Amino acid sequence: MTAQLEYPDVQDSDALLSIQGLWKVFGPKAQRVPRRPELAALDRSALHAKTGCTAAVRDLSFDVAPGEVFVVMGLSGSGKSTLVRCLTRLIEPTAGSLIFEGEDLVTADEKRLRALRRSKFSMVFQHFGLLPHRKVIDNVSYGLEVRGESKPDRRRRAQEVIDLVGLRGNEQLYPEQLSGGMQQRVGLARALANDPDVLLFDEPFSALDPLIRREMQNEVGRLHREVGKTMVFITHDLTEALKLGDRILLMRDGAAVQLGTGDELVGAPADDYVRDFVRDVPRADVLTLRWIARDPRPDEVLDGPELGPDVLVREATRLVLESDRPVKVVEGGQLLGVIGDEEILAVVADPADSHWSARPSDRPAT
Amino acid sequence: MAAITSDVQVEVRRPRRSVVIGVLLVAWVAAYFLLSGIHTLPLGGQETTGFHRWLTEHRDAVGAGNLVFDAIRAAVDNIVVLLQNVLSQPSYGRPVPVIGWLGVVAASAYLAWAFGNWKVALLTAAGLGFVGLQGLWQESMDTLALTIAAVLLSLLVAIPLGIWAGLSNRAFKVATLVLDLMQTLPTFVYLAPLTLFFAIGPAAATIATLIYAAPPAVRLTAHAIRNVPPESVEASRSLGSTRGQTLTKVLLPMSRSTVVVGINQTIMAALSMVTVAALIDAPGLGQTVLKALQTLDVGVAFNAGLAIVVIAIVLDRVTTAAGDRPWRTASVRRKILLGAGGVGVLVAIWFSRTYVWAAEFPTDVNLGARIAVLAADVTTWVQDVFGGLTYGVRDAVTLGVLNPLEALLTGSPWWLVGAVVVAIAAVLGRWKAAVPAVVCIGLLVGTGVWQDSMITLASTLLATIVVVAVGLTLGVWAGRNRRVDLVIRPILDAGQTMPPFVYLVPFLALFGTSRFTAIAAAVVYAVPVTVKIVADGIKAVPVATVEAATSVGSSSWQVISKVQLPVARRAITLAVNQGLIYVLAMVVVGGLVGAGALGYDVAAGFAQSELYGKGLAAGAAIVLLGVLLDRITQAAAPKPHGKGEKQ
Amino acid sequence: MKKLRYAGVLTATVLVLAGCGGAKVGEEQKPAAGGKECGSFNLTVSPWVGYEANAAVVAYVATKDLGCKVVKKNLKEEIAWQGFGTGEVDVNLENWGHEDLKKKYIETDKVAVEAGSTGVKGVIGWYVPPWMAAKYPDITDSKNLNKYADLFKTSESGGKGQLLDGDPSYVTNDEALVKNLNLNYKVVQSGSETALIQAFRDAEKDKKPLLAYFYEPQWFFNEVKLVKVNLPTYTAGCDADPAKIACDYPPYDLDKIISKKFADSGSPAVDLVKKFQWTNEDQNAVARMIAVDKMTPDAAAEKWVTDNRAKVDAWLAK
């Protein structure tokens, strides 16, 4: 199976970061695995039995658009953390290319790579990766320090991002004196301090309590709106992925299973694995009217209220149920379909075990 | 060794191996009755082989008149003499050292306070005051000067090596191997060759101490670097740090507390060399101990040994406190106090340079004489009360266990012993253990001291079994009970740092000159470290695991045998291993109280020129026994990565 | 708070002490006169008390009468010989034979020279505690040893009688002797002089049988008067072949060795060392003061020198 998934919104030329045919294989003589098709085709256990190698990332290709929040999701061991480390070559990819602003990072030398890391990319880590021997402000300014900025400049910039992430007043404390959530704010501030183009998040909130996690997710959403950085966000939490991601790449055993927007994953799972994965999602919160509109029946009177196709089902529920006529889904003056009580109820009332699969009325053929 | 492995193994691992090994041992005993007395490779006390004579003849070929060694010697000598001038010896035309006792006490306490806390500062002042009152001020300062020099030089070598081994897997493997060898090599073995390279005196003594003391610092530095959380390193790299920046800004600062533990271990090792180094004229307390032994003066030897223990405990607590200090920088008030204290220290130093009472430790209160008398009285009392009993114990153990074991090892043909050892190694660790076993057995035969090696092996095995049994018992007890731990720790510290020479005389009185005496001394020496490691391992078992076991109604014994010991198995493997190394380290000392065999060969090689080569070969044999037993115990240990592979 | 208090106490102490004052460093003792003439020399001190007695007296006389500076170094014999070559050692005041080392350092390397006898006679042999000699009078003849072999059995001797040997520093012929005299004994290494003395001490106190290698002069004879077992008499050359030795150890004339450099220095201490000679009794007297009476070597030397001024003056005579 190839990962060359197509999607409508982003053209290749617009991509900020374009990943093509990326492989990461651990083990002896890892190079041969991507090169030899008969090895590349083996599944996980067969590959390990035959070569002693493990493929953490298998032949991935995707583009990330500027300003986009791109989520990579998968269970533990699916290769997502390896993937994000390959993006800045913290782990060296085995094969493939990483095109960033027209430059292939795989061929960049140590010095160039360092320069890119100092100004273009930043990363936020699952366990924060803070330096316990440095105060908050010195942790935040670490990236500026290693690229040789003067102390006053460092301090000023660090203070800015500390204010931005809501850490003001804690500058002189040591990481161990902060709660987990606050520590991750430090990690976030450190990543923002060198004003990168791309922010990489490696399961940043999975070590936090649920309440703090939600708060931090909102914080990231807010920052994304305020500073508009491109983000690649790794998570194993579907809710988090749906909440933050413009698009979601679902990985399994190192390979891509499906790439699409949240409602595409929920509304049109590519296979049973994805279907199983999204089963517990409250569909009403994810699906839009586009996914449940049906063609009007001949006997229906089309004078009900009108709604746009991108309205969430949950938001439309009350209106549809209160209206005694089907609601019209209209986009650009054109009627896409209608929605009656039964369509709404099918989504809202029976979210779990329904094997019903929606078809968006305007979903392009694949 | 089968006994050791089965001791620890049986409960932990599947029993099949122990059955195989049992069959092997029975077959060996049967073969012994058929073959005993042939191919046993005996070699009398004064006899040598061609290889030994070759070594003896070529002893002068190394080192003599080498410019590099002369330069090193001069440099090291200068460092030691400088420190002695400052601390202990009349210097620069004055009848007293540069800093007198008051200055030393004040400065030491101040440093302890600045790097540690006020508690260890008080302990430092009290400890130094105590050795002064013992009447051993100058000797203690000589010992301190030599220790400081040796530790500084050790760290200069060890920390860069440790960093290298921390960063490179290959260097780590090589370093581990070399360090194992360095630590099992008996000090006596390199004492005499070192004097060829560096002549007699402080330089050779310092370098001998360095060789012995550097390994823990290398090991722990490497360990610390390797244990820095990978995310912190990745974070640093992801922000574009160079390797140097990552090393200096992330790895080293984050390794600090573990590196300090390494420094602590290095200091302890250096102090344990004080007496041995005195054999090549290292100044200080070791001389006092050795001199007292000539006249069997247990009291004076104990007094000097006690001073070493006190210094060791002070240095241990101060370095531990320094390692535990939080990252936080000093408050303003502390800074002011530090400044004021600094001025106080300068005043004290000025006094100690100006007035006699502050320069020379007052001799009015001689606590040392009283301690010596007390120690001698206690020793006599113990001898009188237990004298008869101890001989009985000795004879029972010797006749019942040691002699049969020794007969089996020394009476069997060498190839039979070799085959059994290799077979056991193969059963326990397949070719990874069998190959080193073959190599070690081959080299042991090559040293020409096979039979002596087997005698030493018998005593070593017996001593190690006792050490492990006692170590497990006390260690589990201390690991489960905080109060026991609190009581037992200082005793263990004392046992670890008290020079073995001090308790040789009482042991001789209790057990006579015999192999048993040597075994008893080795047990006393090796038990503390074993207990400590086991106790720490037991304490590290997660509370939840123990609670879970208790909640299903396990008895204490079930909790210990089914939960705590298996979970702490890595610590226990380490404890067995270290117990073994410590027992081997005492082989030469054992040779001084009647163990004979390799220990005697090494000591004789150090003392008699015609036996030089044999002594060297015997030293190598001790190392080979160490490597052999180490590989087999490692192979017998459960492999922790077995489970990790699935992920 | 406690830190403050601690600092306060420290300061107060310092101030109080400052008020006391006291004698100032360097006011009392001036260096001994005449130090230049003699200079300084390094004296090795071998690890037995008899040697220490020699060293104590020579060092005392050299310091007090000649104004020399004597640096004592505690070294094993073998190591001390090396020291002649490196300049670490100038004087060895009691050498027990060591023909091989003499050959190497005196004849081959030419870094050391002989400086005459100490006057002390060294005896090496097999000894039993006095109670045994009293109870079994014929035990002192080696011919009768087999008769008593059972008495000397221990856990170490494997069914035979035990002959306890000493410090690894001492060359012994005991294994060959046992074999060539057809004795039903096994040589067991005690491993150190300490072990040997402790064994004799216990043997005499608890009336335990013990046969062991020992030597005179030794301070321990002041505590327990050991009795020598007579081996077949030594005749010149009877020890030529180490494997066939069947005779007693030769008597040793203990001598002095000095470094070539020191011998050529012209220091008056060279004459002192060359002329230094005394008897076994003299040495034992000083050794006893050090080992049994626990006097410092210097104090013991002072006492002996005061009592024996005439002998000392003979060493100093021009």
Task: Report the alpha-carbon distance of residue B533 to residue B530 in Å, rounded.
Answer: 5
Q: Hey, is the C-beta of B65 within 8 angstroms of any chain A C-beta?
A: no
In A, minimum Cα distance to B245 occurs at: A146
Which residues, in sequence order, are CB contacts of A192 under 8 Å at separation 6+? A122, A161, A164, A165, A199, A223, A227, A229
pLDDT category, B506, cuts 50, 70, 90?
A: confident
Instruction: Verify whether the Cβ–Cβ distance B239 to A143 is below 8 Å.
Output: yes
CB B581: neighbour CB atoms within 10 A?
18
pTM for this prediction = 0.79
Report yes or no on chains C and A touching (3+ CB pairs under 8 A). Answer: no
On whether both B149 and B56 belong to a single domain, the answer is no
Give pLDDT tens digits for C188-243: 888 778 888 888 988 998 888 999 999 888 888 888 899 999 999 888 888 888 78
Domain that holds residue B239: 67-92+142-285
Q: What is the pLDDT of residue B122?
A: 93
Question: Which residues of B fall within a CB distance of 8 Å from A56?
Answer: none
Average pLDDT over residues B21-40: 83
List the structure tokens of B354.
Answer: 């100006």
List the structure tokens of C313.
Answer: 């003056």
Cβ(A162)–Cβ(A239) below 8 Å? no
On whether both B514 and B531 belong to a single domain, the answer is yes
In B, minimum Cα distance to C88 occurs at: B200
A337: burial class by Cβ within 10 Å (0-12, 13-18, 19+)?
Answer: buried
Is the pLDDT at C259 greater than 70? The verdict is yes
Q: What is the pLDDT of residue B130?
A: 92
Q: Hey, is the C-beta of A90 within 8 angstroms of any chain B C-beta?
A: yes
Q: What is the pLDDT of residue B352?
A: 81
Question: Which residues of C fall within a CB distance of 8 Å from B287?
Answer: 74
Which residues, in sequence order, are CB contacts of B262 under 8 Å at separation 6+? B158, B162, B216, B217, B218, B219, B220, B221, B223, B224
CB B242: neighbour CB atoms within 10 A?
14
pLDDT category, B12, cuts 50, 70, 90?
A: very low
Check which CATH number belongs to the domain holding B511 and give it: 1.10.3720.10
* Range in A50-54, A278-282, B285-289 the model is least confident about: A278-282
Q: Considering chain A, what is the average pLDDT of its residues?
A: 84
Q: Hey, is the C-beta of A228 within 8 angstroms of any chain B C-beta?
A: no
Asked, for residue B321, whether it belongs to a domain, the answer is: no
Across the interface, of B239, B256, B647, the residue whose CB is closest to A117 is: B239
Instruction: Verify whether the Cβ–Cβ distance B95 to C219 is below 8 Å.
Output: no
Task: Report the alpha-carbon distance of residue C207 to residue C198 in Å, rounded.
Answer: 13
The conformational region for residue B284 under phi > 0 = left, psi -120 to 50 = alpha, else beta, is: left
Give pLDDT tens digits for B557-600: 888 888 888 888 888 888 888 888 888 888 888 888 878 788 88
Is the pLDDT at C39 greater than 70? The verdict is yes
Q: What is the pLDDT of residue C34?
A: 42
Instruction: Verify whether the Cβ–Cβ distance B240 to A127 is below 8 Å.
Output: no
Q: Give CATH superfamily name and number for A67-93+110-277.
A: P-loop containing nucleotide triphosphate hydrolases (3.40.50.300)
Asked, for residue B14, whether it belongs to a domain, the answer is: yes
Number of domains comprising chain B: 2
Instruction: Verify whether the Cβ–Cβ distance C83 to B591 is below 8 Å.
Output: no
Across the interface, of B45, B294, B359, the residue whose CB is closest to C48 is: B294
Residue where the block lists tokens 């100038």: C90
Bridge-based pairing of strands C161-165 and C185-189 is parallel
Domain spans of chain A, in order of start: 67-93+110-277, 283-348
In DSSP notation, C176-192 reads HHHHHTT-SEEEEE--S
In C, minimum Cα distance to B502 occurs at: C194
Domain spans of chain C, in order of start: 39-118+254-316, 123-244
Task: Report the alpha-carbon distance of residue B275 to residue B187 in Å, rounded.
Answer: 11
Q: What is the pLDDT of residue B643?
A: 36
Is the pLDDT at B325 greater than 60? The verdict is yes
Q: How far apart are the CA of B125 and the nearest CA of chain C, in angstroms?
A: 11
* Range in A102-111, B256-265, C74-83 the model is least confident about: C74-83
CA atoms within 13 A on the CB side of C33: 0
Is the pLDDT at B467 greater than 90? The verdict is yes
Average pLDDT over residues B343-359: 83
Those of residues 324-363 in B touching chain A at CB distance below 8 A are 326-328
In A, minimum Cα distance to B230 occurs at: A129
Question: Which residues of B fall within a CB distance of 8 Å from A127?
Answer: 229, 231
Q: According to the per-residue pLDDT averaged within each range, which of A306-315, B323-332, B450-459, C73-82 is highest? A: B450-459
Q: Hey, is the C-beta of A157 within 8 angstroms of any chain B C-beta?
A: no
Average pLDDT over residues B352-371: 80
Q: What is the pLDDT of residue A71?
A: 94
Which residues, in sequence order, are CB contacts of B611 under 8 Å at separation 6+? B46, B48, B52, B56, B601, B604, B605
Across the interface, of B240, B242, B327, the residue whose CB is closest to A143 is: B240
Q: What is the pLDDT of residue B358?
A: 78
Is the pLDDT at B9 greater than 60? The verdict is no
Instruction: Verify whether the Cβ–Cβ distance B256 to A132 is below 8 Å.
Output: no
Asked, for residue B121, whether it belongs to a domain, the answer is: no
Give pLDDT tens digits for B590-643: 888 878 788 888 888 877 777 888 888 888 888 888 888 888 887 777 655 433
Task: Report the alpha-carbon distance of residue B107 to residue B104 in Å, rounded.
Answer: 5
Task: Report the alpha-carbon distance of residue C117 to residue A91 in Å, rounded.
Answer: 79
Q: Hey, is the C-beta of B231 within 8 angstroms of any chain A C-beta?
A: yes
Q: What is the pLDDT of residue C3?
A: 52
Q: What is the pLDDT of residue C281?
A: 87
Q: Hey, is the C-beta of B236 within 8 angstroms of any chain A C-beta?
A: yes
Instruction: Verify whether the Cβ–Cβ distance C23 to B357 is below 8 Å.
Output: yes
Across the interface, of B95, B356, B508, the residue whose CB is closest to C195 is: B508
Q: What is the pLDDT of residue C205?
A: 87
pLDDT category, C48, cuts 50, 70, 90?
A: confident
Residue where the block lists tokens 């995310």: B231
Across the interface, of B235, B326, B328, the residue whose CB is closest to A125 is: B235
Nearest of B371, B94, A215 to residue C25 by alpha carbon: B94
Q: How far apart are the CA of A61 and the nearest CA of chain B, in angstroms?
A: 22
Q: Considering chain C, what is the average pLDDT of its residues?
A: 83
pLDDT category, B15, cuts 50, 70, 90?
A: low
Question: Which residues of B fall within a CB distance of 8 Å from A146?
Answer: 236, 239-242, 245, 249
Q: Which of C177, C194, C220 to mutate to test the interface with B (most CBs of B within 10 A)?
A: C194
Q: Is the dihedral of CA B640, B641, B642, B647 positive or negative?
A: positive
Residue B506 vs residue A355, higher pLDDT = B506
Task: Report the alpha-carbon distance of residue B348 to residue B353 in Å, rounded.
Answer: 9
Question: Which residues of B fall within a CB distance of 8 Å from A121?
Answer: 238
pLDDT category, A24, cuts 50, 70, 90?
A: very high
Instruction: Verify whether the Cβ–Cβ distance B239 to A126 is below 8 Å.
Output: no
Asked, for residue B71, whether it belongs to a domain, the answer is: yes
CATH class of domain segment(s) C123-244: alpha beta
On whether both B599 and B549 belong to a single domain, the answer is yes
Report yes or no on chains B and A touching (3+ CB pairs under 8 A). Answer: yes
Cβ(C280)–Cβ(C117) below 8 Å? no
Give pLDDT tens digits for A54-77: 899 999 999 999 989 999 998 888
Q: CA angle, B240 as apex, B239 and B245 as ends, to 5°?
A: 105
Q: How far apart are the CA of C30 and the nearest CA of chain B, in angstroms?
A: 9
Instruction: Verify whether the Cβ–Cβ distance B234 to A85 is below 8 Å.
Output: yes
Q: What is the pLDDT of residue B62?
A: 59
Asked, for residue B610, whether it belongs to a domain, the answer is: yes
3-class secondary structure per residue, B521-565? HHHHHHHHHHHHHHHHHHHCCCHHHHHHHHHCCCCHHHHHHHHHH
In B, minimum Cα distance to A114 occurs at: B240
Is the pLDDT at B644 greater than 50? The verdict is no
In B, minimum Cα distance to C77 occurs at: B607
Is the pLDDT at C135 greater than 80? The verdict is yes
Is the pLDDT at C184 greater than 70? The verdict is yes
On whether both B150 and B228 belong to a single domain, the answer is yes
Residue where the block lists tokens 């430090």: A186
Angle formed by the axes of helices B500-511 and B298-324, nearest 10°: 140
Average pLDDT over residues A142-162: 91
Cβ(A97)–Cβ(A20) below 8 Å? yes
Across the interface, of A129, A146, A176, the residue whose CB is closest to B231 is: A129
In B, minimum Cα distance to C4 occurs at: B337
Instruction: Verify whether the Cβ–Cβ distance C11 to B340 is below 8 Å.
Output: yes
Across the interface, of C28, C75, C194, the residue whose CB is closest to B504 is: C194
Report DSSP state, residue C248. Answer: P
CATH class of domain segment(s) C39-118+254-316: alpha beta
Is the pLDDT at A13 greater than 70? The verdict is no
Residue where the block lists tokens 């058929």: B34
Task: Report the alpha-carbon distance of residue B133 to residue A69 in Å, rounded.
Answer: 73
* Range in A61-75, A157-171, B266-280, B633-647 the model is least confident about: B633-647
Q: Hey, is the C-beta of B253 within 8 angstroms of any chain A C-beta?
A: yes
On whether both B613 and B567 belong to a single domain, the answer is yes
Task: Report the alpha-carbon distance of residue A51 to residue A32 in Å, rounded.
Answer: 10
Instruction: Verify whether the Cβ–Cβ distance A90 to B328 is below 8 Å.
Output: no
CATH class of domain segment(s) A283-348: alpha beta
Cβ(B532)–Cβ(B492) below 8 Å? yes
Task: Report the alpha-carbon distance of residue B605 to residue B617 in Å, rounded.
Answer: 9
Q: According to the per-residue pLDDT averaged within each range, which of A195-204, B252-261, B610-619, C73-82 is highest? A: A195-204
Q: How far apart are the CA of C207 and the nearest CA of chain B, in angstroms?
A: 13
List the structure tokens of A157.
Answer: 């910039």
Average pLDDT over residues B442-463: 90
Final residue in a domain of this structure, among B285, B306, B334:
B285
Task: Report the alpha-carbon distance of residue B391 to residue B352 in Å, rounded.
Answer: 53
Q: Which of B238, B249, B646 to mutate to test the interface with A (most CBs of A within 10 A)?
A: B238
On whether both B574 and B433 belong to a single domain, the answer is yes
Asked, for residue B451, whether it belongs to a domain, the answer is: yes
Is B134 in a helix, a strand, or coil?
Answer: coil
3-class secondary structure per residue, B76-91? HHHHHHHHHHHHCCCC
Instruction: Verify whether the Cβ–Cβ distance C14 to B344 is below 8 Å.
Output: yes
Instruction: Verify whether the Cβ–Cβ distance A90 to B236 is below 8 Å.
Output: no
Asked, for residue B369, whether it belongs to a domain, the answer is: no
Across the interface, of C47, C100, C167, the residue whose CB is closest to B610 is: C100
Final residue in a domain of this structure, among B237, B256, B285:
B285
On whether both B56 and B149 belong to a single domain, the answer is no
Q: What is the pLDDT of residue A9?
A: 45
Is the pLDDT at A30 greater than 80? The verdict is yes
Across the interface, of C7, C169, C189, the residue whose CB is closest to B608 is: C169
Q: How far apart are the CA of A364 and the nearest CA of chain B, in angstroms?
A: 40
On whether both B540 and B577 belong to a single domain, the answer is yes
Final residue in a domain of this structure, among B261, B285, B309:
B285
Q: Hey, is the C-beta of A116 within 8 angstroms of any chain B C-beta?
A: yes
